[in-house]
Amino acid sequence: MQNDNRTIEAFSSPMEKIDGSRVKQLRENSNLTQLYLATAVGVTTDTISRWENKRYPTIKRDNAEKLAEALGVSLSEILEKQKAEICTSGMPEDPDNNGKTSAPHLPPTHAAFFSTAKKTKVILSIGPILLILVSLAIWKFDLLQSTDQVVTARRLLPTQALVNQPFPVLIIQEIAYRSAEPSTFMLKEILPVGTEILQSVPPPTNLDHEKNVLKWISRTTEPRLVFGYMAKITATQAENKPRLFEGTITIKSGNGKTAAITGNSSIRIGSHHWADTNQDNRIDDDEILAVYDTYDGIKGLNVDIDKIDAIWSGHGYIWHKTTENLELIP
């Protein structure tokens, strides 16, 4: 019965017929790997290979849209186009030859378009133009080399958190180059086991709750972008053991290189609020200013500033481990 339901779901999903050769051409022209496309779409490299070799010519529409976005083109660019039939006709009939076909009339040798002298003159006249074009091509190549994109991504992660209490994570992506052309890149964040993703700003392109994987694919001309999410750690078996976060950033242009996200990559479960960096059960002036400076400008990210303000304006807090309750001291 389960297989029947899957079959019905597969047939009910919108399907698209893609041009595998075109997909392969676009990928190779952009120096992308099959692994990059597989990660962006959420399939295996085997599947990408089958698509390119037309063993799976028809795929789900949402996969086709993700594939086009990863390639930086519109969906129509990778769809199969109907080949127009080329109709050939015979040689034209000569009405003065009793309907028989005759060879096309060729101009006599003495009526050639250019004499040798004229050809020499044309070559001499276009020589400087060719020289200018070659110089421009070399200049553009050097310019592209000098403005090669250098993309970095840095994670801002608290060093501590309370079990089952939300904490924020920011990923700051920066492009060090000057170009009017937009950049296409993919951020991938893998959270440790026992971590629950509560919210993401902006919404992710792909979110796998089972594997705790967040992916953003973006195309932008902005030199700096900030991605954020709220999470909580639900597993309590190994308190104070570091939980490791992993992530990568992949840029489409250039050689499609992938780099690791830098910054803090571990967090521990303890008995102190994530904003209480000196672990004195209070939020002091320096700590509240750091929170506002880092998170106040991230629109839509629910950092719970009100609770942090209440701890700061009061006399601290007490964490009750057994009930997992944070008590404010007024």
What residue ranges of the chain are covered by domains with CATH 2.60.40.740? 151-328
Integer Cα distance of 249 and 86 in angstroms = 46
**Most confident range, picked from 118-132, 136-150, 284-298:** 284-298
**CATH code for residues 151-328:** 2.60.40.740
pLDDT digits over 91-115, tens only? 444 444 444 444 444 444 444 444 5
pLDDT of the residue at 152: 87
Q: Are 70 and 37 in contact (CB under 8 A)?
A: yes
Reported CATH class of domain 2-78: mainly alpha
pLDDT-based confidence at residue 300 (cuts at 50, 70, 90): very high
| pLDDT value at residue 107 | 47
Can you give the pLDDT at residue 157? 97
Across the range 64-81, mean pLDDT stands at 89
Tell me the pLDDT tens digit for each residue of 256-292: 678 999 999 999 999 999 999 999 999 999 999 999 9
More confident residue, 258 or 144: 258
Q: What is the DSSP string of 222-260?
A: -SEEEEEEEEEE---TTTTPPEE-EEEEEESSTT--EEE
Domain with CATH 1.10.260.40 in the chain: 2-78
Written as six digits, the tokens of 95 are 């009405």
Most confident of 7-11, 182-186, 237-241: 182-186
Region class of 281: left (phi > 0), else alpha (psi between -120 and 50), else beta: left
In the prediction, which pLDDT does 125 show? 64
Would you place residue 251 in the very low, low, confident or very high pLDDT band (cuts 50, 70, 90)? confident
**pTM listed for this prediction:** 0.62
